[in-house]
Amino acid sequence: MTRIKGGVMAQKRRKNILDRAKGYRGVRSKKERYAHEALMRAGRYAFAHRRDKKTDFRQLWIVRLNAAVRDSGHKSYSTFIAKLKKNGFQLDRKVLAQFASEHPAIFTRIAKQVA
């Protein structure tokens, strides 16, 4: 049986790594070993930050809601959310924050019903 060295696939793999690292600074876009390390690190950050993005947006919604809630005459965000749950509203923070910023009239009606 003949020996298969796999040179074509190795070249393809190296070319793919360097193509994905295009635009990286310095040796990270030129040398296969450093490009691979940079890609592995970038992948870890991308994975973690996809989860962090959800937290960041939730924090943004809460800040927007807190400002709108205080403008509408409630004491604080936490008491507003507690009253919402007690009154049986099923709106989440994302929707409430959109109402507060884009449709203030709707949000003030909700805030009056909660009070």
Q: Looking at residue 104, what is its pLDDT? A: 93
Coil/strand/helix, residue 31: coil
Domain with 99, as residue range(s), is: 8-114
pLDDT in tens, the chain (115 residues): 888 788 899 999 999 999 999 999 999 999 999 999 999 999 999 999 999 999 999 999 999 999 999 998 899 999 999 999 999 999 999 999 999 999 999 999 999 998 7
- Is 50 a domain residue? yes
Q: Looking at residue 6, what is its pLDDT? A: 81
Domain CATH number, residue 49 = 1.10.1900.20
End-to-end C-alpha distance for the chain, whole angstroms: 83
Q: Looking at residue 67, what is its pLDDT? A: 94
- Residue linked to tokens 């296969």: 32
Q: Looking at residue 19, what is its pLDDT? A: 97
d(CA 99, CA 94): 9
Number of domains the chain contains: 1
Residue 94 has phi, psi (to 5 degrees) of -60, -50
